[in-house]
């Protein structure tokens, strides 16, 4: 019998699924159901990237997509036995600082958090319900993007608003915690002396943020109450003066829905460049607007590295991860080029090679590139919920 652990990441119109073995950390298969609805598509890959056959089914709903993915996996593994399913959940509020097995009470708590993450939370919960329907009785484990940041000191957890709002949940939560959890753990294996020190992790991709990690614990993050704050992203604005929002409402007559669409879907690299939200496209473009979009992204990254280092009283390492952080030699080099005052100096040959350590031999601050793996963090949590020990999983 083939025992498997599922990891699920449900978006508004997508479902990303990976099938891990009961023991071991290499996925046996993965699936991406995209454009869920009448025009839905499904891509399936095996352990070595080879395409897999898709089972018949429909992609008009998350539940239908879940059944189709599971049926497709069973074509490849007819004796498949699902031990547990782990889910990425964007928002755990202040209630959860670690993965939890889903119960009706947990679902109620997570549903109450939907106003805090209206574009993500409902779809995350839909993915859990679809998995419950597909394999009843199997442990469902919620893994939170906010949990890693629950160690923030109060000054990095609050806004200068009336305390009643803080008590009501208006506070800085931080996101991308699954990625930071993986990178921090990997750094502990690769360079324990650095992991015990002061590290800025830059998760740069279509969604982008940075986190200050001191002694293995998050102490500050560029994202705050929502996944809009901090760095500019593919289509999200990043930090913006709240007065702009008041102006858009009062003077431009924009509704909350229109402002939400502006901030989440029309801004960031796309809005600045008028061309694309993809950094690869912007790097290859010859327009001044594309160059300005890159300039702004780099500037904000440099500024946030400095701020996060200040929050820790210094910096021992800067670690890049995420689609841009792991692959864009240009962006890494440009971010680092004005950070020499922090002891950051990269070796351009190492940077070109995407080496693990890209800082120069004499640099005071180590600069690294560590590919992140959020699915593996989820799989390990689900495996633990299924009662498998680390020894079993080895």
Q: How far apart are CA 116 and CA 169, in angstroms?
A: 9
pTM of model > 0.85: yes
Q: How far apart are CA 282 and CA 270, in angstroms?
A: 9
Contacts 24+ apart (CB under 8 A), 276-279: 277/206, 277/233, 277/234, 277/235, 278/206, 278/234, 279/323, 279/324, 279/328, 279/331
The pLDDT assigned to 393 comes to: 43
Please name the residue that has the structure tokens 């200068």: 160
| SS3 state at 107 | helix
Q: Give every CB contact of residue 289 below 8 A, 6+ residues apart in sequence.
A: 272, 273, 274, 275
Asked whether the domain spanning 192-369 has the same topology as the one spanning 2-144, the reply is yes
| SS3 state at 6 | strand
The pLDDT assigned to 48 comes to: 92
The pLDDT assigned to 394 comes to: 40
Does residue 161 contact residue 170 with C-beta atoms inside 8 Å?
A: yes
The pLDDT assigned to 62 comes to: 83
Architecture of the domain defined by 2-144: 2-Layer Sandwich (3.30)
Alpha helices in the chain (DSSP H): 62-76, 104-112, 121-134, 163-167, 177-190, 192-195, 242-250, 256-265, 268-273, 279-284, 288-312, 322-327, 329-336, 348-352, 374-385, 390-393
Bridge-based pairing of strands 15-21 and 2-10 is antiparallel
Bridge-based pairing of strands 209-214 and 198-203 is antiparallel
Q: Give every CB contact of residue 244 below 8 A, 6+ residues apart in sequence.
A: none
The pLDDT assigned to 350 comes to: 98
CA dihedral 379, 384, 386, 389 (to 10 degrees): 120
Give the start-to-end residue ranges of the domains of the chain.
Answer: 2-144, 192-369
The pLDDT assigned to 119 comes to: 83
HSE at residue 223, side-chain half, CA atoms within 13 A, is 29
Q: How far apart are CA 380 and CA 178, in angstroms?
A: 11
Per-residue pLDDT of the chain in tens (394 residues, 90 and over written 9): 888 999 999 877 788 999 999 888 899 999 999 888 898 999 999 999 999 999 999 999 888 898 899 999 999 999 999 999 999 999 999 999 999 999 999 999 999 999 999 888 998 998 899 889 888 899 999 999 999 999 999 999 999 999 999 999 999 999 999 999 999 999 999 999 999 999 999 999 999 999 999 999 999 999 999 999 999 999 999 999 999 999 999 999 999 999 999 999 999 999 999 999 999 999 999 899 999 999 999 999 999 999 999 999 999 999 999 999 999 999 999 999 999 999 999 999 999 999 999 999 999 999 999 999 999 999 999 999 878 755 444 4
- Cα–chain center distance at 174: 11
Q: How far apart are CA 375 and CA 178, in angstroms?
A: 8
Structure token digits, residue 168: 């009501």
The pLDDT assigned to 389 comes to: 55
The fraction of the chain above a pLDDT of 90, given in percent, is 85
Question: What CATH code is assigned to 192-369?
Answer: 3.30.420.40
Does residue 211 contact residue 370 with C-beta atoms inside 8 Å?
A: no
Q: What are the catalytic residues? A: 145
């Amino acid at each position: 019998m083939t025992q498997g652990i599922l990891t699920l990441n449900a978006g508004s119109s997508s479902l990303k699924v990976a099938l891990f073995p009961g023991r071991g950390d290499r996925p046996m298969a993965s699936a991406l159901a995209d454009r869920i609805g009448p025009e839905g598509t499904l891509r399936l890959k095996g352990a070595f990237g080879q395409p897999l056959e898709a089972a018949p089914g429909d992609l008009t709903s998350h539940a239908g997509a879940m059944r189709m993915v599971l049926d497709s996996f069973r074509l490849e593994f007819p004796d498949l036995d699902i031990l547990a399913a782990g889910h990425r959940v964007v928002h755990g509020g202040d209630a959860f600082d670690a993965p939890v097995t889903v119960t009706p009470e947990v679902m109620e708590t997570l549903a109450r958090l939907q106003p805090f993450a209206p574009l993500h939370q409902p779809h995350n919960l839909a993915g859990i319900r679809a998995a419950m329907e597909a394999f009843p009785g199997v442990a469902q484990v919620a893994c939170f993007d906010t949990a890693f940041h629950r160690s923030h000191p109060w000054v990095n957890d609050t806004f200068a608003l009336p305390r009643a709002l803080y008590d009501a949940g208006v506070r800085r939560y931080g996101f991308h915690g699954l990625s930071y959890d993986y990178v921090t753990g990997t750094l502990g294996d690769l360079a324990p002396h650095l992991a015990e020190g002061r590290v800025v992790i830059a998760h740069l991709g279509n969604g982008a943020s940075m986190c200050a990690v001191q002694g293995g614990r998050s102490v500050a993050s560029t994202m705050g109450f929502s996944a809009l704050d901090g760095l500019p992203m593919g289509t999200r604005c990043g930090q913006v003066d709240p007065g702009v929002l008041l102006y858009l409402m009062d003077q431009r007559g924009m509704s909350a829905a229109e402002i939400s669409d502006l901030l989440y879907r029309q801004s960031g690299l796309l809005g600045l460049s008028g061309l694309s939200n993809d950094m690869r496209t912007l790097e290859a473009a010859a327009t001044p607007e594309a160059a300005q979009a890159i300039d702004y992204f780099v500037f904000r990254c440099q500024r946030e590295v400095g701020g996060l280092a200040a929050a820790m009283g210094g910096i021992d390492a800067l670690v890049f991860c995420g689609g841009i952080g792991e692959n864009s030699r240009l962006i890494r080099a440009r971010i680092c080029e004005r950070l020499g005052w922090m002891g950051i100096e990269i070796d351009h040959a190492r940077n070109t090679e995407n080496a693990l350590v890209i800082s120069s031999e004499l640099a005071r601050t180590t600069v690294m590139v560590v590919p992140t793996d959020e699915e593996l963090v989820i799989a390990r949590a689900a495996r633990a919920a299924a009662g498998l020990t680390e020894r079993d999983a080895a």
